[in-house]
């Protein structure tokens, strides 16, 4: 369920508590999805770059690279995914509150030219996959929605303050990316309910789970790429 796996200290305890609550309160699809995604996280947990975020060592340039790498994919998801979810029977996903494009535009505008980063090859790969799935396997596109926004609503709420502390220490403006317009816990409930609503065949459900793992691997690849910035 996490786009970034947090580890260590209080954040790990928060995640354990969230996982236990998740397993008790959510339906069979999301419980299966959660188990599959948990298997994809050992690589992410080991990434030194994630620890740079958590202990304040991520540079403003790396943070700028993260936002630049994410923004095009989010714009595509927000253009393509809502009608696809509706076509598969989901009406509960709170799209207006979830959408990150305006926050990303704000954050990108605030980065000065001195924080230039090279084009992200992983981001381009992610965008190509989003377009392909929307055209050929639309139910699988929703797996990318779940991994990204589900992570933003859970682990991102722990990661965001660390990122902003790093930016504040370097006298840069704080990011809005992880800020949502109302209660994050309520948003999570609505978001999860929308995914349980999806009307998928057994084969489509299995493909959805498989694609969620692919989405996690793309996120991990982006972290590896950013570590070189």
Q: What does the pLDDT read at residue 70?
A: 96
pLDDT over 70 percentage in the chain: 85
Cα–Cα distances in Å, from 31 out to 23, 67, 116, 147, 222? 6, 30, 41, 14, 26
Q: Each residue of 3-15: pLDDT tens digit?
A: 443 333 334 444 4
Q: Each residue of 165-178: pLDDT tens digit?
A: 989 999 999 999 99
The answer to whether 211 and 139 have CB atoms below 8 angstroms apart is no
Q: Which domains does the chain have, with CATH numbers?
A: 9-226 (1.20.910.10)
Among residues 119, 11, 127, 101, the alpha carbon closest in space to that of 64 is found at 119
Q: What is the pTM of this model?
A: 0.87
Q: Each residue of 24-68: pLDDT tens digit?
A: 457 999 999 989 888 766 554 446 667 777 777 789 999 999 999
Q: What does the pLDDT read at residue 51?
A: 75
Task: Please tell me the chain's helix, strand, coil percentages from 3-state DSSP, rounded to the nearest 5.
Answer: 75, 0, 25
């Amino acid at each position: 369920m996490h786009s970034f796996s947090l580890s260590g200290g209080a954040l790990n305890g928060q995640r354990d508590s969230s996982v236990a609550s998740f397993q008790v309160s959510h339906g069979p699809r999301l419980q299966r999805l959660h188990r599959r995604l948990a298997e994809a996280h050992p690589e992410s947990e080991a990434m030194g770059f994630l620890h740079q975020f958590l202990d304040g060592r991520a540079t403003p340039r790396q943070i700028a690279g993260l936002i630049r790498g994410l923004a095009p994919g989010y714009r595509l998801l927000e253009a393509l995914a809502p009608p696809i979810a509706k076509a598969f029977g989901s009406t509960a996903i709170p799209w207006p509150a979830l959408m990150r494009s305006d926050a990303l535009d704000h954050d990108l505008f605030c980065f000065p030219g001195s924080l230039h980063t090279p084009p992200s090859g992983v981001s381009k790969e992610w965008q190509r996959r989003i377009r392909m799935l929307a055209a050929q396997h639309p139910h699988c596109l929703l797996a990318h929605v779940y991994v990204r926004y589900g992570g933003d609503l859970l682990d991102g709420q722990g990661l965001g303050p660390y990122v902003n502390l790093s930016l504040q220490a370097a006298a840069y403006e704080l990011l809005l990316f992880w800020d949502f317009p109302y209660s994050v816990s309520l948003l999570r409930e609505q978001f999860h309910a929308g995914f349980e609503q999806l009307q998928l065949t057994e084969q489509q459900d299995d493909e959805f789970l498989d694609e969620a793992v692919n989405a996690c691997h793309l996120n991990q690849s982006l972290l590896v790429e950013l570590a070189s910035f």
